[in-house]
A = this chain, B = another copy of it.
Amino acid sequence: MNSFSDFYKQTKYKVAGNGPRNIQVLKEALVKWDGQEDGDHYGKGKIIDEFQEKMAKYLGKEAAVFFPSGTMTQQIALRIWCDELRIKKVAYHPLSHLEIHEEDGLKELHHIETILLADKDRVIQLEDVVGLEEEIACLLLELPQREIGGQLPAYETLEAISAYCKEKGIKLHLDGARLFEILPFYEKSAVEICALFDSVYVSLYKGIGGIAGAILAGNTEFTEKSKVWKRRHGGDLISLYPYILSADYYFDKRVDKMNQYYLCAKELAEYYNQCHAVSTLPLKPVSNMFHVYFDAPKEVVEATLTEIYLETGIGLTSYLRVGNNVTTNYEVSIGDLYGQIPKEALRKAFQLLDEKMKDKLKII
């Protein structure tokens, strides 16, 4: 029997992503290389040097270091700031990646205490930071806040938080896993956003669509320390070039498409919000991502979407999560695929979704 994700896989069009994360992603990135170029060697060599310089320039920081993962970069960034300020405490959002997806690495490996700022269903505001009663070494801001659909504070809030942290001697770190994706909303360059932060992490396999890998950027003193920690963590591989070459290739291919993804996300969210018992969080996306909420149990949503996939050939999601009460939800991140769907077919799919949801919820 086919599972829900099988039905999704068999659809002709998919609204989210850049396509399957298959081996072709790597093969495509390697086509232009004839093979005779030396790989990087323990963090040194042309390939890694050039990409790090390119990223440092793009982010407007003195230096940048390539890491195998964001998990590694962020723990290290916080550790460096804690050691520098001799305060083993940091603050971040209750749904930060470090708090919920890293098996407590920050605590288990670095013994850093964390303060959870703000309610989990909203972004951190200036008042949360000003209201901090304990001394912290570093504040981490995740832009956008992924686990609540990718929400953002106002740019003025960022500026105010940055100024406040500077005044108080608190280091400000950017979890910019999706930094490229928010630039169109803020109408700012990466340099302008990053200037508000002491250290910056960006991911190279989300909007950019590389295979894996991350960049940590800051001043040279900071990045040099991060290289020592990279070795301690076991991240200073003899060669990282498979990730670097693909990060570089897909950066060039997609970094200028972020506005397109953003506009598409807003359009798609509108389609969803016109459907009965369906809404998006945020209502108006501020990046290429948002969450979709159905006021209906999982079985109903699964049956409905499966019908849509079979009748229209358009796949909306490969999975469903059960939320509070009877809601069902999933995440959508727009990439290259959205633009390939015939507009009329998409419109019809959502008309169908609206009708089906009305029907199904009448029956219950």
> Are B30 and A23 closer than 8 Å at their CB atoms?
yes
State the oligomeric state as a number of copies: 2
What's the Cα separation between A238 and B101 when bound, in Å?
A: 12
CB distance from A230 to the nearest CB of B (A): 9
> Are A105 and B233 closer than 8 Å at their CB atoms?
yes
> Are B21 and A38 closer than 8 Å at their CB atoms?
yes
Q: Among B33, B212, B229, B245, which residue has its beta carbon within 8 angstroms of that of A239?
A: B212
Q: Among B23, B41, B232, B243, which residue has its beta carbon within 8 angstroms of that of A104?
A: B232
The 4 nearest A-B residue pairs measured at CB = A72-B234, A24-B35, A105-B232, A242-B242
Assuming the contacts A23-B241, A33-B23, A242-B243, asked whether A71 and B39 have C-beta atoms less than 8 A apart, the reply is: no
> Are B25 and A68 closer than 8 Å at their CB atoms?
no
> Are A233 and B234 closer than 8 Å at their CB atoms?
yes
CB distance from A105 to the nearest CB of B (A): 3
What's the Cα separation between A36 and B236 when bound, in Å?
A: 30
Q: Among B30, B38, B103, which residue has its beta carbon within 8 angstroms of that of A228?
A: B103
**Interface residue? A108 (CB, 8 A):** yes
> Are B21 and A35 closer than 8 Å at their CB atoms?
no
Residues of A within 8 A of B (CB): 20-28, 30, 33-39, 41, 67-73, 75, 102-105, 108-110, 205, 211-212, 228-229, 231-243, 245
What's the Cα separation between A231 and B28 when bound, in Å?
A: 28
Q: Among B23, B73, B233, B237, which residue has its beta carbon within 8 angstroms of that of A109?
A: B233
Q: Among B24, B28, B39, which residue has its beta carbon within 8 angstroms of that of A21?
A: B39
What's the Cα separation between A109 and B22 when bound, in Å?
A: 34
Assuming the contacts A26-B241, A27-B30, asked whether A234 and B35 have C-beta atoms less than 8 A apart, the reply is: no
> Across the interface, which residues of B come within 8 angstroms of A243, CB to CB?
242
> Across the interface, which residues of B come within 8 angstroms of A39, CB to CB?
21-23, 25-26, 211
> Are B68 and A234 closer than 8 Å at their CB atoms?
yes
CB distance from A237 to the nearest CB of B (A): 4
> Are A67 and B234 closer than 8 Å at their CB atoms?
yes
CB distance from A319 to the nearest CB of B (A): 12
What's the Cα separation between A235 and B234 when bound, in Å?
A: 8
> Are A68 and B36 closer than 8 Å at their CB atoms?
no
Q: Which residue of B lies closest to A228 (CB)?
A: B103
Q: A103-B231, A105-B234 are in contact. List 8 more A-B contacts (CB 8 A).
A: A20-B36, A23-B241, A25-B39, A26-B242, A71-B231, A104-B232, A211-B239, A212-B238
> Are B20 and A30 closer than 8 Å at their CB atoms?
no
> Across the interface, which residues of B come within 8 angstroms of A240, CB to CB?
212
Please name 10 pairs of A and B residues whose Cβ atoms are closer than 8 Å in the assembled complex, sorted by A. Answer: A21-B38, A23-B34, A26-B242, A68-B68, A69-B235, A72-B233, A72-B235, A75-B234, A233-B234, A234-B235
> Across the interface, which residues of B come within 8 angstroms of A34, CB to CB?
23
> Are B237 and A68 closer than 8 Å at their CB atoms?
yes
What's the Cα separation between A237 and B210 when bound, in Å?
A: 12
